[in-house]
Amino acid sequence: MPITPTHKIWMNGELVDWADANIHILTHSLHYGMGVFEGIRAYETPDGPAVFRLTEHMMRLHNSAKIMGMDMPYSVAELVQATKDVVVASGLPSAYIRPIAYYGYGEMGLNTLPCSVDVAIACWPWGAYLGDHGLTEGIRLKISSWMRHDHNSMPPAAKTTGNYVNSSLAKVEALKAGYDEAVMLSPEGTISECTGENIFVVRGGILLTPPIASGALEGLTQDTVTTIAEDLGYEVRREVLTRSDLYICEEMFLCGTAAEISAVNSVDDRSIPCPGPKTLAIAEQYARAVRGQTESYMGWLEHVR
């Protein structure tokens, strides 16, 4: 989606003007793809802008850095406050937020040990990632020819910049073929996730989502959806899924910070009932939760002021 410039970006402890938030062309991570990041949303609520599950996102950023052997120079609390400062400086009632930690300028080569770690946080307006029709009409999926990473080649538990080369290849392949999104298989041939979203299907009235062992990122939206679904009285299980499970499911939807909740109307041109009743019920409760309209979920929100 196009980026609309705002006012300030937080870089290494300071708010700088959007146009001045630059890096050197020889920045290490630009050449070797070694960085960790998050995708976060701030929503307009009755009490002003609030960031959804902000602390958990920053904890995952720290965990990603640890997995990659990267020494994070800022604490979770410092990054939480920096995020709030960026949102306030933007003046936006709602926004997409992108924190990133990366190896900076000064070293070249595969040895990252001497490299400095730089951190930046930006935010800008953001609409429906998979289109406004994502919930009402649903989206079309294609099983990708590109396989998700093996755990011992690129750790999928870390949200790293380099991992998303794999996702980009699958996404572009699907778009060129006329689909909206791609489903990625694990090295074992089971369902992993989409290029930037976790997968849920309904079979026998039970919500199923692939386990972490299938190579999917442990999604915070996936966790949110699980809580909401169980509060609605639905049973949720993490189970290994095959492509046939997708073809014959009763409902299917994707979830992620960017995509929110998007219903699926077909996989490999096999039609799926869309949008299903469980999908709609969960999507409605999710929309209320992120906007501060459900008291029991207020603990997920951190107001910026």
User: Residue 75 and residue 214: Cα distance in Å, rounded?
Assistant: 30
Contacts of 225 (CB under 8 A, 6+ apart): 198, 200, 255, 261, 282, 286
At 256 the pLDDT is 96
134 has a pLDDT exceeding 80: no
Half-sphere exposure (Cβ direction) of 23: Cα atoms closer than 13 Å: 21
Q: Which of 159, 171, 176, 278 is catalytic?
A: 159
Tell me the pTM: 0.96
Q: 75 CB contacts (<8 Å, ≥6 apart)?
A: none
Instruction: Please give the backbone phi and psi of residue 80, each rounded to the nearest 5 degrees, phi first.
Output: -60, -50
Q: Give me the mean pLDDT over the 41-70 stretch.
A: 98
Distance of CA 154 to the CA centre of its chain: 18
φ, ψ of residue 112 to 5 degrees: the values are -90, -5
Q: How far apart are CA 245 and CA 82, in angstroms?
A: 43
Q: What is the C-alpha to C-alpha distance for residues 73 and 116, in angstroms, rounded to an integer?
A: 9
Compute the distance between CA of residue 183 and CA of residue 124 in angstroms, rounded to an integer: 28
Mean pLDDT across the stretch 27-38?
Answer: 97
Q: Which two tokens stand for residue 139?
A: 């989206």
Domain assignments of the chain as residue spans, ordered by start: 8-124, 139-290
Non-local (6+) Cβ contacts of 133 within 8 A are: 139
Residue 70 DSSP class: -
Q: Does 159 participate in catalysis according to the annotation?
A: yes
Judge: domain 8-124, CATH 3.30.470.10: yes
Q: Where are the beta strands (DSSP E) in 186-259?
A: 191-194, 198-203, 206-209, 236-238, 251-256
CA neighbor of 125 nearest in space, from 91, 150, 171, 172: 91
Would you place residue 129 in the very low, low, confident or very high pLDDT band (cuts 50, 70, 90)?
A: low
Nearest C-alpha neighbor of 302 from the set 120, 84, 37: 84
Helices 277-290, 220-231: inter-axial angle, 10-degree rounding: 110
Which of the 8 DSSP states describes residue 5?
A: P
Question: What is the model's pLDDT at position 187?
Answer: 95
Does domain 139-290 correspond to CATH entry 3.40.50.1100? no
On whether the CB atoms of residues 274 and 265 are closer than 8 A, the answer is yes
pLDDT digits (tens, 9 = 90+) for 218-271: 999 999 999 999 999 999 999 999 999 999 999 999 999 999 999 999 999 999
Q: Provide the pLDDT for residue 132.
A: 66
List all residues 6 or more positions away from 189 whose beta carbon is below 8 Å from its beta carbon. 242
What dihedral angle (degrees, nearest 10) is formed by the CA atoms of 70, 6, 125, 255?
0
The DSSP bridge pattern shows strands 139-147 and 40-45 to be unpaired
Residues with Cβ within 8 Å of 106's Cβ and at least 6 positions away in sequence, in order, are 28, 114, 115, 116
2 or 1: whose pLDDT is higher?
2
Q: What is the pLDDT of residues 260-302, one digit of tens each?
A: 999 999 999 999 999 999 999 999 999 999 999 999 999 999 9
Tokens standing for residue 160: 């790293």
